[in-house]
Structure 1
Amino acid sequence: MTELGNRLKETREAKGYSLEDLQRITKIQKRYLIGIEEGNYDMMPGKFYVRAFIKQYCEAVGLQSEVVFEEYKEEIPTTYEDEIPVSLSRVQTKKGVPASSSKVFDVIPKLLIALFVIGALIALWVFVQNKVSDDAGNADPSNKEPVAVDQQDLPNEDEPVEEEDKDQKESNEDTESDQEKAAKEKEDNTGQSLEAVKTEGTKTTYELKNTDQFKLELAAKGDAWVAVYNSKDEVLFQGMMYDGDKKEYDLTAEQEAYLVIGNAANTGINVNGKLLEYKIPTETVRQDIIIQYQPAESQQ
């Protein structure tokens, strides 16, 4: 056990917290808390999360994380290069491609673009030629016949507009205006509402209203550690997500969802297809998101 681990454990026990209590407070798995106390950082998702978990641990037991990081900087990892093994793997694969093949791959897109441009120009030339031929045929005087116009059928500009037609036009405009207002009011009354109602530290509480469903989607734009809990505090998911990964949950039967986002900048949260805006800037890497759901039926 490291000196940092001993200090954290002694502080936790002085507070009267068990590992289960600390897991409940921090939302960090018990096995990771044990790894922090034992100095076993290899079992963590990555060095980036070692620092995040230690910071959360310190805040839970009342220690100043900045002081702890400075005092034990020789023990705590300072980089997170091992957080992107997939990216490293992709880079190595690209390096293994022969130079000649790489040049061929560079030329192919340019060749395809050139062919596309040539084809577009040919199609445009054919269209213009056909258009010119049609216009020339229509302009032939032999194909036109004079049209007799009865002067009696032309409207008299001096005649006043009939009052009946004017009233009918105004009535139609009023009816359309009323219909547009009603449609807009209906849309406003039935539109989903997702608003942040409370922010405390790194935790933000949102209220979801005016909807009869609660569908949650998490979309990763990079490497991120994520945990999802329902209103019974049951774990629906806990682990790493990588670029392009998605997780979907139908929580319509739940009253609340608790999300632990390990890297807010790399994690998008969609509620019923609407993107949730982080109330706290994503420079705050770890954020806790609580979504309280009030079905539309219960609000009536």
Structure 2
Amino acid sequence: MGIGERLKAERESKNMSLEQVQNVTKIQARYLDAIEQERFNVMPGSFYVRAFIKEYATVLGLNPDELIEEYKKDLPFENKEDVAISRVKSSKKNKATTKTPVIFSFLPSVIVVLLIIGIVVLVWLFRQGYFTGDDADPTPTENEDNTAGESVQVQPTPDTTPSGDEESEGEESSDEEEVEEDEPEVATEISLDSYDNNESYYNLTTTDEDVNLVITTENRNWLEITDESGEKFYEKTFTTDESPLELDVSEVEELYLRFGEPQTINIEINGEELELSDEIQASQPQKAWITIEKQ
């Protein structure tokens, strides 16, 4: 007997329908039926197969961990999947990324600097008379009236204009201060991909190597936090005395959160708030799956 038949037989022995199980677990009936038929390929991903089976088994009064261990070889836990692709077509992943060589990012600035230097050199050449044909020798000139018998010495006007080299150096230094390579900013973005029947699916992208989860509450909330392998970080009633709860989830690719009293709880990852859907009812417990992608 497979795990699907085991769950179905246990459900029928308790005279429960799939709709009744759905109302308790908040898992859609089509997924419950797929589990009973062992059609795991219709599930969002292997991570959800584990989570849904645990919820189903708990409602039927079975030990979920023992059940998972007993049928481990029949379940697709070892297949590495990208759940985010099956759930949402991310435009960022579908776009072909091309990296521009670093030298091309400097070309506009280099061209501007060369242009400024060229203009300064031209101005300096004009002031030196290279383009006027003025080759007059500033030597003493004789008066047309030979009777004067004296010559007038014409003194050259001192050129107080800074040399072209000095201006060029000044322009270069000022431009070099402006041309600085922009350092990449560390950023984290969280988007709500879908919400249905008290289940939220989020996609988180970050350029930071560290991923920190911080949860605060103004009341008492049942809180469960699990990763993609089923390892539990937290599972009990969360109170204000324990707030804030801080967890390092840098090595996690999928986070599963289950919590009550959504109106009194606040969830942040790397300082970005996890915004809940406007459709959420305050009296209903919530489930959230978060796919974490590092760029």
Q: Same fold (TM over 0.5)?
A: no
Whichever structure has more helix as a proportion of its residues is 1
In the superposition, the TM-score normalised over structure 2's length comes to: 0.42
In the superposition, the TM-score normalised over structure 1's length comes to: 0.41
Which has the higher Rg, Structure 1 or Structure 2? Answer: 2
